[in-house]
Structure 1
């Protein structure tokens, strides 16, 4: 962690509107459970989505012993355990700690790091970000200041292909040419170009500078975009890096692009197999098949993706072995077909897991899956109420349950007024989509 140093007074900025949170951060973790209608919920942070076979087996055993038996993937490549019984906190923490999934009790909710899932596997990235991932997680857990980060604060490590760089992280590090890296903060108009080997330290420096800036401004904020001083924050980070002997040069920010709607390609991808879990839910059978496959490989690991998928590195993968493995995984209900409509369909937990939900949105989404092809390729997200928990960013079609039954649809396009339609039942989905989709 960098030593504190004098910083200039903050200037005003017109890039963002200040947000002040009037309550504490209630984001769940493994030591702070959330009470849901189907039991307690734990969110296990998995930096970069990377799990060893031993850790994957421990998660499955814990879900079966203490929860509903399933593993629920999040849009940050983390895992949620649902249906946990009252009073299971100690047993849960003991199980996860023994598997190495709880390296720091004080940092367990802030280890939110997404990373390019195929980095180092398909030859497309500019560098393998795994060393960045290990270094950043270690540094994060060693930083006393970082304990104050919100459970919603997000780091992204992009290998240069632009997949996780479009996930609206608070701190993004993207591999650049000639061994360099670009550091991006929220929506700041500038980026910092710095030596690639300094990327993990720069990412942590940025997070610590955010905390200090927020504290000095008196704002109670959780995300960088809630702070109306983002470019000034970037200047502070550059000064702190310079004091540590790290040369960081400011550059105008260029368009990073949006992440692919369905994440990595499905099927056999060079030295890996890639599958999708419908609605992010993995049954005990599916998890067992994935873990068993990973246990036969040299790397013995699984990578969870921010698109609710799983990548298994398989060095030296042959066509015959890939076809056999994909067939087995497909039989369990995992999606291996790149043309599947499941890649564009998401949903909140809905009934019966959430008391605020007005409908069993997951059942309705499954029943109307065939109509998902009428979205024009946009993500289709089902929500049980107006909160729209977990909805994707950017252009999409929202299907929101309304009081009295039925749903309201809206096509959300940034910068444009939404197009809306209503439907009484899921059988009308295709017609309603036709009204709002050109």
Structure 2
């Protein structure tokens, strides 16, 4: 059992964090499909996770007609379509472009932006960052330099609550009151304070400054730069001053934010409690995948009973804003009946997995089936199942890491950059479920 693991030790680099890249960026998009064992894969970037219902309809139609009939959410709030025929790429791009999901072919893989999913809904953040989101996406799509960003480079827009600011962004903007924003480069404690209104332009300046150093370093992300992010921050400060900013150096600890939004009913801002008050619904998707009929239920709820918008979260969930509070409980039960996670009492809460077998040739196990078989009481820590040591799509923060091996599985606890000693669990007997439950606390 794992209840008495040895103290944590510095972890080897987590997947996706090699120090340098000697080959081209192979991150998939919608114009560059990835060949998987279950067919071609397309990754549709959805900046900030914001989808209109019309765009959601297009994604469902593509999944049904061209793919495996499911939509797969990623840890960046994007959507993957799997099981595609490789010769349907032109049709895919045409339909996505017509829906506004592909505003720039040159920048389609660079539009990696996560944003606080409850911003402007519950009154808890320091500002509504949706204007930042639309401004940054427009700036990215009109920047010739930004087209060179790798498909792994990540922008994070945090409304001050510390949720997406803890997700390892390369460039992070965090709201500081009504008039300020904190600009952070990678995981460093050193940052700069800038005015809030032009903050998206500052984020673009930071990304373009990184690109000037990236080729010589073979870097896809800021953590790949030799010597740390300090020299890049110095360059960014200088460029900001040249652009008319007056940045103030600041030191701030990395956020230890609340993580994923609580599942269930999200009340509106305090003080609004009449019968016409609006709320949001926060939902989870088992293992981050949703069937076309389930997606249709989500879209119909948003279209007819909500604000006409879906917000995909970096924790593979969905927020539906704008439902009437008096209808919220009933809607949750309808969505529960459709197979979605609507509360923390679900055994699926906090359980994630990569695609595993048979979709991935590198996977050593059907980890989704293993995760399903090992479901038990909700644990204190999330758990993520990986079919190999790459750990694609793994979470951030503190979590239980379950990795398939040739002889069974290895289980360890991860906390930030530290990993506890791994415990081997041979085979796939009932002992695996007990070991995972013990590790989750």
TM-score in terms of structure 2 length: 0.90
* Correspondence 1:171 to 2:174: no
- The match for 1:378 among 368, 381, 386 is 381
Q: Deviations over 1:325-347 (max 9, x none)?
A: 11111111100012323222111
Deviation at 1:130, TM superposition (A): 0.4
Runs of 4+ in structure 1 off by over 3 angstroms are 413-417, 433-438
Aligned to 1:280: 288
3-state SS, counterpart of residue 336 of structure 2: helix
Deviation at 1:245, TM superposition (A): 1.4
* Correspondence 1:41 to 2:38: no
Separation (CA, whole Å) in 2 of partners of 1:187 and 1:361: 30
Deviation at 1:290, TM superposition (A): 0.6
Q: Deviations over 1:416-437 (max 9, x none)?
A: 6424131422411243247756
RMSD after superposition: 1.8
3-state SS, counterpart of residue 87 of structure 1: helix
Aligned 8 A contact 2:412 2:419 in 1? no
Q: Assess, with a 3 A threshold, how the Cα gap between structure 1 residues 347 and 193 changes in structure 2: closer, same or farther.
A: same
Aligned to 1:10: none
Aligned to 1:268: 265
Deviation at 1:395, TM superposition (A): 2.7
Alignment of 1:212-231 (within 5 A): 212-215=212-215, 218-227=216-225, 228-231=227-230
Structure 2: gaps of 5 or more residues: 1-16, 268-278
3-state SS, counterpart of residue 303 of structure 1: strand
Q: Mean Cα displacement is larger for which, 174-183 or 38-47?
A: 174-183
Structure 1: gaps of 5 or more residues: 1-16
Deviation at 1:18, TM superposition (A): 9.1
Aligned to 1:132: 132
- The match for 2:402 among 399, 414, 433 is 399
Q: Assess, with a 3 A threshold, how the Cα gap between structure 1 residues 295 and 94 changes in structure 2: closer, same or farther.
A: same
Q: Deviations over 1:76-111 (max 9, x none)?
A: 000000000130001100111111100000000010
Alignment of 1:249-264 (within 5 A): 249-260=248-259, 263-264=260-261
Separation (CA, whole Å) in 2 of partners of 1:436 and 1:103: 44
Q: Assess, with a 3 A threshold, how the Cα gap between structure 1 residues 437 and 117 changes in structure 2: closer, same or farther.
A: closer
Aligned 8 A contact 1:188 1:234 in 2? no
Aligned 8 A contact 2:373 2:433 in 1? no
Aligned to 2:19: 19
Aligned to 1:355: 361
Deviation at 1:403, TM superposition (A): 1.4
Separation (CA, whole Å) in 1 of partners of 2:117 and 2:45: 16
Q: Assess, with a 3 A threshold, how the Cα gap between structure 1 residues 160 and 426 changes in structure 2: closer, same or farther.
A: farther
Deviation at 1:412, TM superposition (A): 2.8
- The match for 2:393 among 390, 394, 401 is 390
3-state SS, counterpart of residue 358 of structure 2: coil
- The match for 1:408 among 407, 410, 414 is 410
Separation (CA, whole Å) in 2 of partners of 1:335 and 1:434: 19
Q: Deviations over 1:192-227 (max 9, x none)?
A: 101000110011000000001224xx2110111111
Q: Assess, with a 3 A threshold, how the Cα gap between structure 1 residues 348 and 249 changes in structure 2: closer, same or farther.
A: same
Alignment of 1:18-417 (within 5 A): 19-215=19-215, 218-227=216-225, 228-260=227-259, 263-270=260-267, 271-297=279-305, 299-314=307-322, 317-319=324-326, 321-370=327-376, 373=378, 375=379, 377-404=380-407, 406-413=408-415, 414-415=417-418, 417=420
TM-score in terms of structure 1 length: 0.90
3-state SS, counterpart of residue 194 of structure 1: strand
Aligned 8 A contact 2:189 2:254 in 1? no
Separation (CA, whole Å) in 1 of partners of 2:360 and 2:112: 24
Q: Deviations over 1:53-93 (max 9, x none)?
A: 11000000011110011100000000000000130001100
